[in-house]
């Protein structure tokens, strides 16, 4: 460390200093052993993390999923060894997918020794569900702090819903450590703007102001006054001039605790320095080990007992954490569960809801009183039927909440008769403003706190929120994305608002389910299906234009959606010559074409394919189903979708024809666009005849 920092450190309690230096040396040794990683930030921030965890964090290492624990988010995910060192030294226990505590360490020392290696619990960036004690997957800068806003919203909503006089079940706070990169990413500003507007006083970001990025000093590209920016966003801003000053750090966190009308940003000045007292180096801040000699010199500078021993944890360090954070967390958790036992007697229905919510289960009667839709050639837009179904489910599931990126009147996602979530109210209607990227991350934070969130926008703007959608899939959390205006059906708004490649892009994300229902009854089944998911995010793709409501007494039941694809209309005798495959608004087009083909003596079959992912998953368990729906002997196939044809080759095969978009759209009324780009009954019939050679 620098000479001035060393003078401050000598004033620190020796056991506290030893613990801080253990965090640093574990980080250095792990990065060196992996020959990969970022040792600088964990070393610089070790005092900050120690102060927060040991003196303030309400967290029980024996139960890292206790509902009222404080949340700690390492948004600067490249500094992952800081978190892994803390998880190991505090003795955080592992929890499995069934929410069972296993009694073993979440991060054993052997996993630290295998940092960034295959199957280690210490991957390069922190991963939720992989390492207990990691509250969210981080790495893409800015995502962690944005996600923390969702956690803070969840905390406030849960307190308003579950807390009763004498029963403060939810009081937790949310802390996030951010770096210069997080501050540069636009998503952090989107999220901070909303957090300030909502006056989320339970939220604290700690900004590591070390002036270093991969390319060098931040002066290359970053010179703004962060403090002034956050003051303008409605935050309380505090400054700690030396990351090693534990007392000043403690005072800043105490001020955060006393602040009741706004979130808090603590700007902490730190330096990345190693070896000899005044040697500074930026290379190890991002992606380079220090080297054996530099590590030895740095350990000597710390006064380390065994500078040549790797992964050394001195006696007393684990016990020090156990006597501080561990003792406090255990007492708080024990008191909470005792309180909850009494709560169950006084408020049994709420207690049951809370237990179900924590396990991602649904309440009794969750799918009662749903709308049903009779056959109607005029029909309605799937965004409209979705809004009706959403409102029906919201009455049955109290923790279903969400909103839109300033488009609720268009996406039909307002929960009618319910208040909004604002600085003064804790309703279930969220207003994200024109902030698609932050919305996605905030939804992740809500889901990680076991709220069931949805967010909505136009499909074209899924691009703006793709990063958090991808992270939701990695984390296996059931976030609901409602995307309307799903095709060139947007019409006059033109190519800037007409999605083309977006369906293919969303389908390419592993673990994400896309659902594009063809009529109002498929919409009902889509919602019924997706709400039962506990580990998969879903993109629900909906139209602006009206879709005919199919006559289900004539055609197959919409329940087929639960299998991803199903035979909607079949050839006489169930022996088709040609298959017409479609999703969403193009299914009714295929049904009309099917009727004309059958009338002309051509045996056709219409297959509605609302979800490729669900279909593939179902067929993996029931291989015979694929043959039932898509018989291999029928090679004459036509796919129809008002989007890129990318991916349809898997289903139509080499003899098939794909009717879709090969260019961007155009600005014109819908019917003109459909004619221009070949989405007509006549075009489908012609394609069917072509692949049949008739």
Say yes or no: 287 and 392 in one domain.
no
The reported pLDDT for the residue numbered 219 is 84
For the chain, the domain total comes to 3
The answer to whether residue 366 sits within a structural domain is: no
Lowest mean pLDDT, pick from 297-301, 616-620, 635-639: 297-301
The reported pLDDT for the residue numbered 272 is 63
Say yes or no: 585 and 679 in one domain.
yes
The answer to whether residue 283 sits within a structural domain is: yes
Say yes or no: 469 and 581 in one domain.
no
Question: What is the crossing angle of helices 466-475 and 436-448, to 10°?
Answer: 20
β partners of residue 660: none
The answer to whether residue 345 sits within a structural domain is: no
The reported pLDDT for the residue numbered 615 is 98
Say yes or no: 161 and 187 in one domain.
yes
Say yes or no: 646 and 678 in one domain.
yes
The answer to whether residue 54 sits within a structural domain is: yes
pLDDT per position as a tens digit, 194-213: 999 999 999 999 999 988 77
Q: Tell me how far apart the alpha carbons of residues 614 and 628 are, in angstroms, rounded to a whole number.
A: 16
Residue 546: band (very low, low, confident or very high) from pLDDT cuts 50, 70, 90: very high
The answer to whether residue 350 sits within a structural domain is: no
Residue 100: band (very low, low, confident or very high) from pLDDT cuts 50, 70, 90: confident
The reported pLDDT for the residue numbered 102 is 84
The reported pLDDT for the residue numbered 280 is 43
pLDDT per position as a tens digit, 433-491: 999 999 999 999 999 999 999 999 999 999 999 999 999 999 999 999 999 999 999 98
Residue 556: band (very low, low, confident or very high) from pLDDT cuts 50, 70, 90: very high
Q: Is the pLDDT of residue 356 over 80?
A: yes
Say yes or no: 77 and 35 in one domain.
yes
Which among 515, 547, 579 is the end of a domain? 547
Which among 275, 301, 332 is the end of a domain? 332
The answer to whether residue 173 sits within a structural domain is: yes
Say yes or no: 127 and 204 in one domain.
yes
Residue length, the chain? 694
The answer to whether residue 648 sits within a structural domain is: yes
Could you tell me the CATH number of the domain that includes residue 28? 3.40.50.970
Range of 565's domain? 560-692
Q: Is the pLDDT of residue 287 over 80?
A: no
The reported pLDDT for the residue numbered 285 is 44
The reported pLDDT for the residue numbered 664 is 96
The answer to whether residue 158 sits within a structural domain is: yes
Measuring CA to CA, which residue among 465, 488, 469 is closest to residue 477? Answer: 469
Q: Tell me how far apart the alpha carbons of residues 10 and 22 are, in angstroms, rounded to a whole number.
A: 15
Q: Is the pLDDT of residue 545 over 50?
A: yes
Percent of the chain with pLDDT over 90: 91
Cβ atoms within 10 Å, residue 241: 10
Say yes or no: 294 and 320 in one domain.
yes
The reported pLDDT for the residue numbered 7 is 40
pLDDT per position as a tens digit, 329-353: 999 999 999 999 999 999 999 999 9
In what helix (H) or strand (E) does residue 512 lie, and over which residues does it extend? none
pLDDT per position as a tens digit, 307-317: 999 999 999 99
Percent of the chain with pLDDT over 70: 96
The reported pLDDT for the residue numbered 177 is 98
Cβ atoms within 10 Å, residue 59: 24
Q: Which two tokens stand for residue 409?
A: 């009147």
Say yes or no: 584 and 542 in one domain.
no
Q: Which two tokens stand for residue 607?
A: 């297959």
Catalytic residues: 436
Phi, psi of 51 (to 5 degrees): -60, -45
The reported pLDDT for the residue numbered 279 is 43
Say yes or no: 647 and 569 in one domain.
yes
β partners of residue 515: 540
Which among 521, 547, 573 is the end of a domain? 547
Could you tell me the CATH number of the domain that includes residue 674? 3.40.50.920
The reported pLDDT for the residue numbered 11 is 66
Residue 97: band (very low, low, confident or very high) from pLDDT cuts 50, 70, 90: confident
Average pLDDT for the chain: 94
Q: Is the pLDDT of residue 27 over 50?
A: yes
Evaluate whether 314 touches 22 at the Cβ level (below 8 Å). yes
The reported pLDDT for the residue numbered 284 is 42
pLDDT per position as a tens digit, 115-152: 999 999 999 999 999 999 999 999 999 999 999 999 99
- Residues 6 or more apart whose CB falls under 8 angstroms from that of 129 comprise 97, 475, 476
pLDDT per position as a tens digit, 35-61: 999 999 999 999 999 999 999 999 999
């Amino acid at each position: 460390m620098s000479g001035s920092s060393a003078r401050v450190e000598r004033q620190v309690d020796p056991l506290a200093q030893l613990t801080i230096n253990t965090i640093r040396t574990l980080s250095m040794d792990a990065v060196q052993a992996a020959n990969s990683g970022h040792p600088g930030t964990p070393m610089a921030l070790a005092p900050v993390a120690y102060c927060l965890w040991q003196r303030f964090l309400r967290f029980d290492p024996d139960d890292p999923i206790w509902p009222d624990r404080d949340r700690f988010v390492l948004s600067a995910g490249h500094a992952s060894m800081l978190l892994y060192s803390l998880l190991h030294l505090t003795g955080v226990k592992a929890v499995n997918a069934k929410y069972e505590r296993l009694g073993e360490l979440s991060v054993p020392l052997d996993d630290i020794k295998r940092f960034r290696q295959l199957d280690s619990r210490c991957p390069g960036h922190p991963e939720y569900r992989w390492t207990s004690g990691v509250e969210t997957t981080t790495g893409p800068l800015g995502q962690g702090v944005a996600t923390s806003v969702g956690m803070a919203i969840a905390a406030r909503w849960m307190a308003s819903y579950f807390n009763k006089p004498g029963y403060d079940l939810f009081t937790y706070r949310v802390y996030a450590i951010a770096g210069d990169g997080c501050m540069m990413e636009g998503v952090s500003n989107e999220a901070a703007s909303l957090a300030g507007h909502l006056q989320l006083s339970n939220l604290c970001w700690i900004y590591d102001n070390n002036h270093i990025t991969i390319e060098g000093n931040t002066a290359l590209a970053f010179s703004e006054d962060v403090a002034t920016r956050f003051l303008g966003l409605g935050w309380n801003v505090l400054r700690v001039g030396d990351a090693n000053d534990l007392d000043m750090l403690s005072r800043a966190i105490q001020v955060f605790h006393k602040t009741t009308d706004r979130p808090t940003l603590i700007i902490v000045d730190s330096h990345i320095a190693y070896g000899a007292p005044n040697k500074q180096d930026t290379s190890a801040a991002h992606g380079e080990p220090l080297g054996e000699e530099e590590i030895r010199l740095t350990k000597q500078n710390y006064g380390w007992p065994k500078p040549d021993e790797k992964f050394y944890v001195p006696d007393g360090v684990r016990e020090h954490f156990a006597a501080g954070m561990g003792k406090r967390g255990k007492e708080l958790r024990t008191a909470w569960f005792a309180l909850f036992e009494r709560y169950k007697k006084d408020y049994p229905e709420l207690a049951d809801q809370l237990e179900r919510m924590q396990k991602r289960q649904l309440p009794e009667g969750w799918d009662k009183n749903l709308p049903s839709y009779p056959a109607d050639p005029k029909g309605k837009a799937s965004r409209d039927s979705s809004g009706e179904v959403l409102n029906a489910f919201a009455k049955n599931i109290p923790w279903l909440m969400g909103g839109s990126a300033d488009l609720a009147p268009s996406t039909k996602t307002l929960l009618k008769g319910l208040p909004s979530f604002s600085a003064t109210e804790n309703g279930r209607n969220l207003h994200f403003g024109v902030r698609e990227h932050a919305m996605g991350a905030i939804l992740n934070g809500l889901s990680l706190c076991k709220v069931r969130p949805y967010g909505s926008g136009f499909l074209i703007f899924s691009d703006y929120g793709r990063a958090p959608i991808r992270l939701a899939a990695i984390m296996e959390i059931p976030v609901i994305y409602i995307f309307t205006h799903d095709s060139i059906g947007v019409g006059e708004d033109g190519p800037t608002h007409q999605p083309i490649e977006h369906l293919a892009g969303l389908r390419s994300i592993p673990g994400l389910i896309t659902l594009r229902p063809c009529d109002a009854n498929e919409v009902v089944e889509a919602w019924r299906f997706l709400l039962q998911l506990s580990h998969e995010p879903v993109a629900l793709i909906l139209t602006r234009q009206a879709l005919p409501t199919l006559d289900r007494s004539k055609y197959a039941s919409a329940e087929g959606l639960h299998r991803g694809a199903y035979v909607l209309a079949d050839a006489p005798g169930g022996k088709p010559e040609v298959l017409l495959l479609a999703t969403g608004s193009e299914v009714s087009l295929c049904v009309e074409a099917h009727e004309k083909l059958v009338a002309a003596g051509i045996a056709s079959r219409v297959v509605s394919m609302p979800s490729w992912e669900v279909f593939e998953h179902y067929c993996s368990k029931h291989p015979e189903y694929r043959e039932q729906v898509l018989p291999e002997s029928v090679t004459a196939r036509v796919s129809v979708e008002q989007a890129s044809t990318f991916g349809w080759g898997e289903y139509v095969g080499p003899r098939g024809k794909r009717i879709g978009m090969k260019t961007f759209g155009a600005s014109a009324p819908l019917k003109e666009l459909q004619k221009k780009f070949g989405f007509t009954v006549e075009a489908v019939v012609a394609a069917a005849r072509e692949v049949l050679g008739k």
